[in-house]
Amino acid sequence: MKFFIDTANMEEIREAYSLGIIAGVTTNPTLVAKEKNVSFEDRLREITALVPGSVSAEVIALDAEGMIREGRVLAKIAPNITIKVPMTPDGLKAVSVFSKEGIKTNVTLIFSANQALLAARAGASYVSPFLGRLDDIGHNGLELISTIADIFRVHNIESEIIAASIRHPQHVTEAALRGAHIGTMPYKVILQLFNHPLTDKGIEAFLADWNNRG
Ligand code: E4P
């Protein structure tokens, strides 16, 4: 499983990218709205200049025509822009147009296997099932990852599964185990993945031994 960072914050992206593990970035309107004094387009220019992998930029329009118009403009910002589209009939109409034009797409707000299958068949490059939000309403987000991964495997579907709405390290391990191609997560979760008390204890002991050598 590859790692994407789920943020529009440049400091977080820079820090995470310098770790050498980041293959892409996802943003959404909520994350972009947190960034003050910078336009969406300028922020996308900054991100795509740093990160060579897929950078998801979400459209705001809800009708296919509007999404196509917005998506075409965003796609011109950089060759690694992926147009993020919500999982609706209009969204999939837009995805099928983008796919014919060679524009990469990420279908977001996926909460069922059928939605993922529909998105894939419309030509989505990526499908984004939201783990955390399913868990929040008492469903099992990780089970959904397994089901989508099985269906895609059985039918040789090439769309990649992005495990999204990841809230903690256990989501990361389980999403990887169950066949998600990518996990997109906040910077905070990326940092949590590094932590183990035995690593800290080991470093401490090595240093103490080194300093006490004869
Ligand atoms: C993914 O592309 C979304 O931006 C994100 O993972 C949503 O996460 P949340 O449910 O924590 O807002």
Per-residue pLDDT for 134 more than 90?
yes
Per-residue pLDDT reduced to its tens digit, 47-88: 999 999 999 999 999 999 999 999 999 999 999 999 999 999
CATH of the domain at 201: 3.20.20.70
Interface pTM, i.e. ipTM: 0.97
Closest atom of ligand 1 to 56 CA is 2
Ligand 1 centre to CA of 127 (Å) is 13
CA dist 87 and 112 (Å) reads: 10
> DSSP letters of 11-26?
HHHHHHHHTT-EEEEE
Ligand 1 centre to CA of 209 (Å) is 44
Range of the domain at 148: 2-211
Whether 106 is in the pocket of ligand 1, judged by its Cβ within 6 Å, is no
Residue 189 is inside which H or E element, if any?
helix 187-194
- Structural domain count, the chain: 1
Helix 89-100 vs helix 113-121: crossing angle, to nearest 10:
30
